[in-house]
Amino acid sequence: MSISALIIDDEQLAREELKYLLDSVGDVEVIGQGANGIEAVALIQELHPDLVFLDVQMPGLDGFAVIRKLMDRDRLEKQTGADGAHGKDAEPLPQIVFATAYDQYAVRAFDVNAVDYLLKPFDRSRVVEAVDRARGRISGGAAAGSTAPQSDSPIESQLEALLRLLKRPQGADRSPQPAKLIVQAQNRLLLVGQAEICFAAIDEGVIRVVTRNFEGQSKCRTLEELLEQLDPAHFWRAHRGFVVNIDHIREVVPWFKSSYQLRMNDKAQTEIPVSRTQTKRLRELFNL
C-alpha cells in the first residue's frame, strides 16, 4: 500500500536526509515539505497526507503546537458537521511521526502513547520501522472506519493522550537515572559516576565508555539504551555513533562545509564528529 507523506523540519539538511531515506523505503510518496509549524498546518489542510514527519523543536509554532491546532480544527469540523453547517465529513487526522534531536522525556512520552518518533540523526532501520508501523495503523484505521464513527479514531485518541501527558510536570513518570553505571574494564566491573564519563562510542555492536582515567565496555546493547541511564541535561548524542558529556568538551573545532568536531577532555583528546542534523543543537548549546 502506497502512502503519502509530508516532511516538516526547519533544517533543510534534515529534510533532505529524511527524504533520501524515505525514497529508499519504497511505496512512500513525499508530496510536500515545510520549514515551520505554520507551513505544517497549511500543508496538512491542503494536501491531506497519510503521514507527517514532524520536527518537535521549531521556532515559533513547534511540533506540539501544530498537533494542538490540528486537534482544534478536527473538533471544530466535527461540531459544524453535526450541526449541518456543511455537508462533508471532517478530514481524518494524519499519522504523526515525531522527530527530535535530544528531548529524551518526549521520546518516552511518544513511545508510551503509541505515537512513533525518530531520534536525530536519522537511522534507516528506524525510518523503515516507523513507516511500517504507520502503514499498519493506516490500514487498520481504514478497516475500523467502516464500522466505527470518526470520533472514535485511534489516531485522535493517541494524540489526545500525548497532549495530556505533555501537560504533566517533566519527570513525573520517570525513574531517576542511576548515579553510577557499571563499566567492564578487563575482568573488573567498575561503578563509574556519570560526571566521570567523557563520552561513549559504539563500534560493531560494542559500546566503549571513556573517562579521563580509563576506558571500558558497557553492557548496554545500543546507545539508545545507554542514554536511558544518563542525565539528558549533560549527555548529548552528537553523532549516530557517539554520546558525549557536554561538560567534558574541551574544544569545538570548525570543520569543512560548516560542520564541526568536538575535542574531548580524555587523555587522547579524542575528536568526535558532529552530524549534520546535530549542528543546530551544538549552536544552541554554545551560542555559536
The rounded distance, in Å, linking the Cα atoms of 112 and 98 is 13
Q: What are phi and psi of 69, to 5 degrees?
A: -65, -40
In a domain, 288, yes or no: no
* Same structural domain, 26 and 144: yes
136: containing domain: 3-166
* Same structural domain, 160 and 195: no
pTM for the full predicted model: 0.58
CATH number at residue 234: 2.40.50.1020
Q: 172: pLDDT confidence band, cut at 50, 70 and 90?
A: very low
In a domain, 286, yes or no: no
**Per-residue model confidence as pLDDT tens digits over 52-106:** 999 888 877 888 888 888 888 777 777 776 555 554 555 678 888 988 776 655 6
In a domain, 172, yes or no: no
**Per-residue model confidence as pLDDT tens digits over 7-57:** 999 989 899 999 999 999 989 999 999 999 999 999 999 999 999 999 888
* Same structural domain, 160 and 228: no
Number of structural domains the chain divides into: 2
* Same structural domain, 232 and 195: yes
Q: Provide the strand spans (E) within the chain.
A: 3-8, 28-34, 51-55, 95-100, 117-119, 180-185, 188-193, 197-203, 206-211, 215-217, 235-239, 242-245, 249-254, 260-264, 271-273
Helices (H) and strands (E) in the chain, counts: 8, 15
